Amino acid sequence: MSQQLTIKQIAALSGVSVGTVDRVLHNRGRVSEAAMAAVQAVLEKQNYKYNLHTSAVAFKKTGKTFRIVVSIPSSEKGEYWDLVRKGFDKAFREYGDISIKSEYVFFDQFNSLSCREAFGRIATMNCSAVILGTTFVEETRELCGRLDGRHIPYVFVDGKVSETHPVASYLADQETCGRLMARLMDGFTPAGKELALLLPRRVGTQMSNNSAIRLAAFKAFFEEQGRERTLREVSFPAVSPDEAHEEIRSFLKANPDVGGVAVVISTGYLISDAVKGESRRPVIGGFDVTSGNERCIREGSLDFLINQHPEHQGFSAVESLLHYLLYGVPDHTLREHQSIDIVLRENLDYWTDEV
């Protein structure tokens, strides 16, 4: 159906009363399991969109407040995780008619020990629900097990982790991101040139969840396509720009056959800045329209970006969690995988200030 169903239409399709449908939609009063299942089946089939603002009126009468804890990596303004946070904050503002208290618990994305400490705090906090950045797999899995034991719902942003039970996850398909990066690097660089994959150096767990998936998919592309390319993996200190610049310049000087550099995280600008002014510059590709990447794309020192829509991921995570807290079911109208876009200087202006 092209239009939103009315309560009467839902009742007719599910074979229950209008009052039962109203109680399901607004999560008030008792409903039998059979009636609940019948109504939910119709809602899912018809992609029914609940009205969170309407339900907020009924929720306010209860005098309750949702306490939501958000744990993501700390970030400078304009960097990737700051863009995710912009999406969170926009959703909290848009659904401000629902009584919400949000609290951020940050960790260092390059230090799994920092993540473990932050997640340990969250495991004992008094909250209604949690939103998690899944940078580190084992730490995420351990916290989720403790949240499951306390019956606290959680939503993932920027990744998924097996053996967990999130209400929902919002991310770009990381395997697709890795393959797309490989295809673009292969197309932009001469056939005889080597390719370098730059990975951030971390403390504790040596690779993030997404970086590992992208790296494996990047390599798989060349194996499956039968493309003979020399691939070099190189780590760099992403938290120290000066040190990163020095190491990157030294690496490229020692490896003159490298014609393309793929940066598996959103700090492609570090590589662009490192080789600025050099007589020989490799093709450079990275992820996401961060402030640094945007600057380098405009300057022409960064060739392309794969945009994962971090703002939309953050907004959807909050919206889906509120949906679950109000209705007890996930929002099946929201798409788990965000769209993936190729950003060049020619179309950059379409992807800035999304939220």
Domains parsed from the chain with CATH numbers: 7-48 (no CATH), 56-170+310-338 (3.40.50.2300), 174-307 (3.40.50.2300)
Residue 165 pLDDT grade (very low, low, confident, very high; cuts 50, 70, 90) = very high
Report the C-alpha dihedral over residues 285, 289, 292, 297, rounded to 10 degrees: 60
Structure tokens belonging to residue 60: 């306010």
- pLDDT tens-digit readout, 256-283: 999 999 999 999 999 999 998 887 899 9
What pLDDT shows up at residue 28?
64
| Mean pLDDT value of segment 197-203 | 85
What pLDDT shows up at residue 347?
94
Express as a percent the part of the chain with pLDDT over 70: 93
What pLDDT shows up at residue 1?
40
Between 25 and 219, the more confident residue is: 219
**Where do the H-state alpha helices sit in 124-275?**
137-149, 174-188, 209-225, 241-254, 268-274
What pLDDT shows up at residue 207?
65
Between 274 and 238, the more confident residue is: 274
| Mean pLDDT value of segment 328-351 | 87
What pLDDT shows up at residue 85?
97
| Mean pLDDT value of segment 191-195 | 93
Pairing verdict, β 66-71 and 100-104:
parallel
| Mean pLDDT value of segment 160-178 | 95
- pLDDT tens-digit readout, 48-61: 767 777 777 667 76
The DSSP 8-state label assigned to residue 32 in this structure reads -
Residue 10 pLDDT grade (very low, low, confident, very high; cuts 50, 70, 90) = confident
The DSSP 8-state label assigned to residue 320 in this structure reads H
The greatest distance separating any two alpha carbons of the chain, rounded to the nearest whole angstrom, comes to 75
Report the C-alpha dihedral over residues 48, 53, 58, 62, rounded to 10 degrees: 120
- pLDDT tens-digit readout, 101-111: 999 999 999 99
Give the residue from 198, 197, 265, 206 showing the smallest Cα distance to 236: 198
Q: What is the CA 298 to chain-centroid distance, rounded?
A: 25
Instruction: Tell me the pTM.
Output: 0.85
- What's the CA gap between 63 and 211, in Å, rounded? 43
What pLDDT shows up at residue 13?
80
| Mean pLDDT value of segment 176-198 | 95
Write down the residue that tokens 């022409």 correspond to: 300
What pLDDT shows up at residue 355?
46
- What's the CA gap between 285 and 269, in Å, rounded? 9
Residue type, 149: G
Q: Give the range among 44-58, 107-121, 132-146, 235-249 with minimum mean pLDDT.
A: 44-58
The DSSP 8-state label assigned to residue 94 in this structure reads H
Q: Give the range among 2-6, 67-71, 183-187, 318-322 with minimum mean pLDDT.
A: 2-6
- What's the CA gap between 192 and 186, in Å, rounded? 10
How high does pLDDT run on average in the chain? 89
Q: How many CA atoms lie within 13 A of 133 on its CB side?
A: 29
Residue type, 256: P
What pLDDT shows up at residue 91?
95
Q: Cβ neighbours of residue 270 under 8 Å, at least 6 residues apart?
A: 236, 238, 241, 244, 245, 248, 263, 292
**Positive or negative torsion for Cα 15, 19, 22, 27:** negative
Q: Is the pLDDT of residue 24 over 80?
A: no
What pLDDT shows up at residue 2?
47
Give the residue from 226, 214, 228 showing the smallest Cα distance to 182: 214
E strand or H helix at 260, and its extent? strand 258-263
Q: Is the pLDDT of residue 154 over 60?
A: yes
**Positive or negative torsion for Cα 227, 254, 273, 135:** positive
Q: Are 95 and 318 in contact (CB under 8 A)?
A: yes
